[in-house]
Amino acid sequence: MSRSLNGVRVIDLSHVLAMPTCAMILGDLGAEVIKLEPSWGDDSRDFGPWIDKHGKNRSGYFISLNRNKKSITVDLKATKGKEILRDFIKVSDVIIENFRPTTMRKLGFGWEQIHEINPKIIYASICGFGHDSIEEYASRPAYDMVAQAYSGMMSLTGPLGGPPCRIGSSSGDITAGHFSAMGILAALHYRKKTGKGQYIDIAMVDGLFSMLLNAFNDYIAEGVIMEAQGTMDSHITPSQAFQTKYDWVIITAQNDSLWKKYCEVINRNDLIDHPKFKTNSLRTKNRKELLAILEPLMAKKTTKRWIDLFKKEDFTAFPVNNMKDMVENPQTRYRKMIREVDQTGLKKIRMAGTPFHLSETPGDIYAPAPILGEHSEILLKTILGYSQEEIAKLKEEKVVVPDLQV
């Protein structure tokens, strides 16, 4: 099958979540992703949940993020390990990593050195505050929790009047991975026109801050420091989750005509032209008074009953799903967002599919996550042209570690 990034080779020095997300996206789109790991492997190989039993090749966390990749173990502190990395850089299009800001320079592979080895290569890195930072943050590590807190994201998340809350998924890591992939695709396009490689500096904090457009605009325009609103939209009313008889339903009246339709469905036509509620601005201004009317009313019926009633009027109302709901949802399956994969040495496993539904070159899961060091020998032989004797010596000196069996 033709894939969008066929012919693009990526050297992946990443670990855990942020840049592995980027590498997963590139792999799903057809790039050849070569994951260079230390002898103990990516740290996430030791994260649960486990498939069958504990083991570096049985981590559900690692497997879900590292499909469509090849693994080679290389000791980058050894002189010969550095030579292997240099050889890969010479014949690759992209190199990616998410170490602490000083790590690559200490290894002798800062942007200047990598660019000298291969002027056409694209080098992308992720860290908490960016490699180009003021001195106070230039070398500080940061994790997803730090990025969510520092960026302002956490202050906007959680119940109205409650404490700051972390978003349920690792949004700082994951969004940084997505922004890195977009930067790489843009750089590949630029290189096609100019022949020039470039450096991409992605900060987790920048990525999350760039997503806070409404809060930013509120502060810039009016000096308002937005606070957590629970499920409520700060500027549209009603647009939130309402508790129903048993669980929750999402209602959103994005304009005044939808407000009219909503009132008709809930059988409260008297609210349509009410002087306090007839426009969105008035409803938002008088939200507390309006919710005192709507919340007891919405609690009288089940979520399913409300959805059925609103669906007849083509009004937006949906359930608040949990993970079981989504995995068993026919729409999720129809969109191929649950895939069964033959994981090397293990049973078939299910993982989240790729969201890239391109008409000609769709994203796909075409290879399982690699066993640690699974492709060491074949990559050294077929890409770098190492002889069997050279490979045997690298194994003997533990510069390259043979694959760790399942």
Domain count along the chain: 2
352-375 residue pLDDT tens: 999 999 999 999 999 999 999 999
CATH of the domain at 304: 3.30.1540.10
Asked whether the predicted pLDDT for residue 1 surpasses 80, the reply is no
Asked if 173 is an active-site residue, the reply is yes
- How far, in Å, CA of 46 to CA of 59, rounded? 7
Query: Where is pLDDT greater, at 139 or 103?
Result: 103
Distances (CA, A) of 111 to 102, 104, 285: 11, 8, 52
- How far, in Å, CA of 245 to CA of 13, rounded? 51
Torsion sign, CA atoms 243, 244, 249, 252: negative
297-342 residue pLDDT tens: 999 999 999 999 999 999 999 999 999 999 999 999 999 999 999 9
30 and 86 fall within a common domain: yes
What was the pLDDT predicted at 141?
A: 84
66 and 172 fall within a common domain: yes
Q: Which of 319, 344, 363 is the last residue of a domain?
A: 319
Asked whether the predicted pLDDT for residue 269 surpasses 80, the reply is yes
21 and 140 fall within a common domain: yes
User: Which residue in the list 75, 173, 206, 403 is annotated as catalytic?
Assistant: 173
Share of the chain above pLDDT 70, in %: 99
Average pLDDT over residues 62-88: 97
User: Cβ-count burial of 81 within 10 angstroms (0-12 exposed, 13-18 middle, 19+ buried)?
Assistant: buried
Residue 19 is part of which domain span?
9-210+331-396
Taking the mean position of all CA atoms in its chain, how far away is CA 373?
25
DSSP 3-state assignment of 59? strand
Averaged pLDDT score across all residues of the chain: 96
What was the pLDDT predicted at 401?
A: 82
CB contact at 8 A, 200 and 125: yes
Which run of H or E residues covers position 250?
A: strand 248-252
- How far, in Å, CA of 199 to CA of 125, rounded? 8
What was the pLDDT predicted at 387?
A: 97
Domain assignment present for 56: yes
180 and 301 fall within a common domain: no
Confidence of residue 273 (pLDDT cuts 50, 70, 90): very high
CB contact at 8 A, 302 and 245: yes
273 and 147 fall within a common domain: no
Which run of H or E residues covers position 339?
A: strand 338-342
